[in-house]
């Protein structure tokens, strides 16, 4: 008999808001969720973060390459009683990285929180990855984070927070996609520098580092690479997107007001003892 695993309300997105981001203006880059053929697919990390930020009282700009996905997220944000705006942008384009920030300030009158949740993976193995694939991955996964942060630092309100969504792939060679792993590892260096330069304005920057998460993207990755979920998970399951969202919202909130330039590893212990 399979043991039934209990998921608390926070893990399934049914817990009520606690007013932790009331009055805040949050830009979530990568707020959509990959379309899925499943009848009841799970939510992606960016969408869960946007919805939870709204539930906690923030107005949210949902930025994504996929307009339909961003609009769907915005509808869920509005259902929480918050204001939602949609921006469509390809963060591989440096000009778009600047315009996302400029347009958010125009729409909301400022920014108090920024979440960077974009990432792609191309190539397979060191010898199976081309220079073009490497550069494309780094343009989205690393350069975009640098450029958006650079655009945001001068306009972020004092005591704002930036959250980078990294990956446990940055901690161990497990995916077989070195461009992805390396680009995610580079985010810690960017976050530390952003935290340093933002500190005079009490602007904080931190990382959430999730391991396996049950999202449409994660399920697709598991279908392509069945060994991805073969190892034992200490808590008996993958994380949910809502659990990633709670980590991100905590780092956005004043509950973490003395935490900066750090990584919050969300892996259920897997990278330490599994």
CB 64 within 8 A of CB 31: yes
* Cβ-based burial of 40 (10 A; exposed 0-12, middle 13-18, buried ≥19): exposed
Identify whether 180 is a catalytic site residue.
yes
Residue from 47, 52, 56, 49 nearest 24 by CA? 56
Q: Where are the beta strands (DSSP E) in the chain?
A: 25-29, 59-64, 84-88, 111-116, 156-165, 204-210, 213-214, 239-240, 263-266
Residue found under tokens 């904080």 = 204
CB atoms within 10 A of CB 244: 25
CB 101 within 8 A of CB 152: yes
Of 6, 180, 246, 258, the active-site residue reads: 180
Q: Count the residues in the chain.
A: 274
Give catalytic residue positions.
180
């Amino acid at each position: 008999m399979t043991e039934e695993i209990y998921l608390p309300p926070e893990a399934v997105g049914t817990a009520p808001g606690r007013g932790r981001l009331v009055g805040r203006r949050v830009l979530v880059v990568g707020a959509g969720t990959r379309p899925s053929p499943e009848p009841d697919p799970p939510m992606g990390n960016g969408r869960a973060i946007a919805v939870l930020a709204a539930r906690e009282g923030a107005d949210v700009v949902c930025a994504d390459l996929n307009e339909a996905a961003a609009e769907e997220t915005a509808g869920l944000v509005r259902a929480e009683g918050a204001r939602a705006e949609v921006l469509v942008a390809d963060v591989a384009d440096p000009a778009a990285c600047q315009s996302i920030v400029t347009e958010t300030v125009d729409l909301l009158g400022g920014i108090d929180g920024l979440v960077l949740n974009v990432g792609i993976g191309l190539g397979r193995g060191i010898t199976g990855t081309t220079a073009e694939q490497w550069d494309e991955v780094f343009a989205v996964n690393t350069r975009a984070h640098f450029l958006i942060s650079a655009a945001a630092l001068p306009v972020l309100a004092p005591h704002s927070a930036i959250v980078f969504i990294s990956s446990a792939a940055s901690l161990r060679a497990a995916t077989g996609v070195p461009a992805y792993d390396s680009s995610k590892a580079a985010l810690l260096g960017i976050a530390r520098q952003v935290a340093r330069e933002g500190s005079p304005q009490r602007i904080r920057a931190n990382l959430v580092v999730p391991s396996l998460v049950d999202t449409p993207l994660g399920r697709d990755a598991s279908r392509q690479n069945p060994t991805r979920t073969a190892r034992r998970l200490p808590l008996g399951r993958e994380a949910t997107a809502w659990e990633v969202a709670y980590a991100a919202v905590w780092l956005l909130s004043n509950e973490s007001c003395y935490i900066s330039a750090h990584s919050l590893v969300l892996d259920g212990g897997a990278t330490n003892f599994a």
